[in-house]
């Protein structure tokens, strides 16, 4: 695996014989989107909102992460090998290692139980996957391609986030109403705290002092100060919340509601909420850092809406080749 700094564009100004050389343009972010029932992953150029590549052979991918240098993608599957499961075998599902430059699946990595969502450590070394029906988080070493740890969690581990320094991870447990903090050096749960009813998608504030958590079935957003999680606040949003992410400047939260057919924009510093109509069934979403956009998928159609992070207006949309968009990975 390349250094996480490889592939970045280094710019310099040079003057020769009194002439100023023109700077090359920076490339736009690439967004990778797993297609779920479409059994594949696509790459999207965030400058033009155009699908540029389609990787097949990935069975029912839901969660997806990329190594920081963009060299590898790792997609988790919500499918299990039924024969292995019936026989009591532990490693009965797979992560798919995709090499975008080569254009295909390079390796499958056995894991314990179907995977819901993924997170990756900032150095690109470890991938954490939630396994809701097994009540654990698996840890896969990207370098060796092996599952190296299973971390027992509360009931229904759903979503996972890793801090910028890579030393902590947070997992929401939708069945238990908790968030658990994991030490990524020892791979042990260090604390657990209430997170509201059915905590699912999460995002950290820009300074990582707060954790924002969707309480999906209750239709509320939990704001949890990590230094004092008992001071948690609940903000009513709407029914059936799903996707959640934060703007590039850290000011706005984007929250989708499938039943309301709306994208909600909540601004914590002003306690303001704006609704953006999106239909049918806005689902997963990711802010596209560096592009000023939010990509929002539909639960029932192969559609991605493109929303401006500041005006909150729908500025574009595009069609996926199949399936529906799930957890996206953005490479600057």
Average pLDDT of each block of 10 consecutive residues along the chain (332 residues)?
34 32 61 98 98 97 97 97 92 97 96 97 98 97 96 98 98 98 98 97 98 96 98 97 98 98 98 97 97 98 98 98 98 92
Enumerate residues 6+ apart whose C-beta is below 8 A from 258.
Answer: 240, 242, 281, 282, 283, 299
Q: So what's the pLDDT on residue 277?
A: 98
Backbone angles phi, psi at 293, to 5 degrees: -125, 165
Backbone angles phi, psi at 303, to 5 degrees: -125, 140
Q: So what's the pLDDT on residue 7?
A: 33
Q: So what's the pLDDT on residue 325?
A: 98
Q: What is the pTM of this model?
A: 0.91
Q: So what's the pLDDT on residue 53?
A: 98
Judged by DSSP in three states, 308 sits in strand
Q: So what's the pLDDT on residue 27?
A: 76
Q: So what's the pLDDT on residue 1?
A: 47
Backbone angles phi, psi at 327, to 5 degrees: -65, 120
Q: In what order do the strands lie in the sheet with 30-34?
A: 50-56, 40-45, 30-34, 329-331
Q: So what's the pLDDT on residue 26?
A: 56
Q: So what's the pLDDT on residue 4?
A: 33
**What is the torsional sign of CA 315, 34, 74, 197?**
positive
| Cis omega (within 30 of 0) for bond into 280 | yes
């Amino acid at each position: 695996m390349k250094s996480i700094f490889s592939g970045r564009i280094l710019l310099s100004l040079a003057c020769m014989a009194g002439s100023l050389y023109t700077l090359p343009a920076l490339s736009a972010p690439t967004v990778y989107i797993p297609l779920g029932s479409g059994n594949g992953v696509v790459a999207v150029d965030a400058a033009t909102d155009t699908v540029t590549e389609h990787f097949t052979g990935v069975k029912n991918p839901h969660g997806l992460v990329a190594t920081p240098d963009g060299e590898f993608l790792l997609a988790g599957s919500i499918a299990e090998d039924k024969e292995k499961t019936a026989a009591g075998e532990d490693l009965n599902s797979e992560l798919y290692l995709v090499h975008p430059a080569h254009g295909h699946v390079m390796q499958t990595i056995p894991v314990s139980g179907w995977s819901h969502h993924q997170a990756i450590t900032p150095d690109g070394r470890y991938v954490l996957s939630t396994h809701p029906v097994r009540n654990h988080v698996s840890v896969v070493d990207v370098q060796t391609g092996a599952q190296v740890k299973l971390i027992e969690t509360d009931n229904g581990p759903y979503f996972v986030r890793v801090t910028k320094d890579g030393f902590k991870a947070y997992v929401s447990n939708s069945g238990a109403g908790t968030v658990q903090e994991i030490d990524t050096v020892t791979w042990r749960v260090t604390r657990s705290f209430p997170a509201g009813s059915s905590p699912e998608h999460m995002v950290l504030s820009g300074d990582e002092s707060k954790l924002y958590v969707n309480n999906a079935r209750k239709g509320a957003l939990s704001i949890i100060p990590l230094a004092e999680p008992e001071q948690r606040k609940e903000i009513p949003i709407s029914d059936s919340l799903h996707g959640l992410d934060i703007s590039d400047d850290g000011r706005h939260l984007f929250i989708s509601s499938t039943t309301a057919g709306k994208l909600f924009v909540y601004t914590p510093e002003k306690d303001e909420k704006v609704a953006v109509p999106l239909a049918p069934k806005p689902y997963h979403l990711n802010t596209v850092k560096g592009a000023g956009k939010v990509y929002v998928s539909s639960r029932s159609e192969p559609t991605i809406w493109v929303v401006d992070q500041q005006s909150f207006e729908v500025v574009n949309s595009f069609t996926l080749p199949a399936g529906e968009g799930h957890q996206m990975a953005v490479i600057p």
